């Protein structure tokens, strides 16, 4: 049996307008990661391996949790949202969101156009994104033990799509609900990949941490 604990990185620079600007944790993001690490140490701290993508916000979250990284795998990197949003506006006249409310409408539009191959001059086609994530997850499934994967919301959404057989619209809705520093558990048992937990944030349940339950 293999158990995979997926963690979304802590809050990043939510005011960024490009990929490089977004790729750093906010002070709150580091606090979220620290609280999550403390929760894991108090409950079930052992992992046989710790994987992240190569993005700063992913690796910095793992380190702020108190874990040494075993491997940084670029297959666990996030989709290029800003590049996709730019292409959507330039090619289809749909403007980038100005706030979180508009983002909730915009992300499904981005995913819809991307999955239907209606965006040109982008860093990665949807099929290539799907293939790299599912390949990474399947590889972990065939590695016995308990694996911590610190990654991003789009990667987690794709992993859940893979496990649950979701349509692409369902994947977009899942992605919108994934909180910063949230926990998600996959189990590979009886040759099946199953979802054991989704979007858990036990480290943020204290009343004085209500402000720290963030999505962007």
**pLDDT by residue (tens digit) across 66-85?**
999 999 999 999 999 999 99
Q: What is the DSSP letter of 97?
A: P
**pLDDT score recorded for residue 88:** 98
The answer, yes or no, to whether residue 17 has pLDDT greater than 90, is no
Predicted model pTM: 0.96
Instruction: Please check the confidence at residue 109 and state whether its pLDDT lies above 90.
Output: yes
Rg (CA), the chain: 17
> 77 in helix, strand or coil?
coil
Q: Any idea where the domains of the chain sit in the sequence? A: 2-79+130-208, 80-123
The predicted structure's pLDDT at residue 161:
97
The answer, yes or no, to whether residue 182 has pLDDT greater than 90, is yes
Instruction: For domain 2-79+130-208, give the CATH superfamily.
Output: Phosphoglycerate mutase-like (3.40.50.1240)
What is the average pLDDT across 181-195? 96
Does 94 score more than 90 pLDDT?
yes
* Burial of 11: CB neighbours in 10 Å, binned 0-12, 13-18, 19+: buried
User: Is the pLDDT confidence value at 99 over 90?
Assistant: no
Q: Is the pLDDT of residue 15 over 90?
A: no
């Amino acid at each position: 049996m293999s158990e995979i604990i997926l963690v979304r990185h802590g809050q990043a620079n939510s005011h960024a307008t490009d990929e490089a600007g977004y790729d750093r944790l906010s002070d709150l993001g580091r606090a979220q990661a620290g609280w999550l690490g403390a929760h894991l140490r108090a409950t079930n701290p052992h992992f046989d391996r710790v994987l992240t993508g190569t993005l700063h916000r992913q690796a910095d979250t793992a380190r702020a949790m108190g874990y040494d990284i075993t491997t940084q795998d670029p297959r666990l990197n996030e989709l290029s949202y800003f590049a996709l949003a730019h292409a959507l506006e330039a090619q289809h006249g749909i403007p980038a969101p100005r706030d979180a409310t508009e983002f909730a409408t915009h992300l499904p539009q981005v995913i819809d156009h991307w999955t239907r191959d209606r965006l040109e001059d982008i860093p990665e086609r949807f099929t290539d994104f799907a293939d790299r994530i599912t390949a990474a997850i399947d590889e972990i499934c065939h590695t016995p033990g308990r694996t911590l994967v610190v990654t991003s919301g789009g990667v987690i959404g794709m992993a859940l799509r893979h496990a649950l057989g979701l349509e692409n619209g369902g994947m977009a809705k899942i992605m919108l609900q994934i909180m910063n520093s949230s926990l998600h558990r996959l189990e590979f048992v009886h040759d099946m990949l199953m979802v054991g937990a989704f979007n858990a944030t036990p480290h943020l349940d204290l009343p004085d941490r209500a402000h720290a339950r963030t999505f962007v």
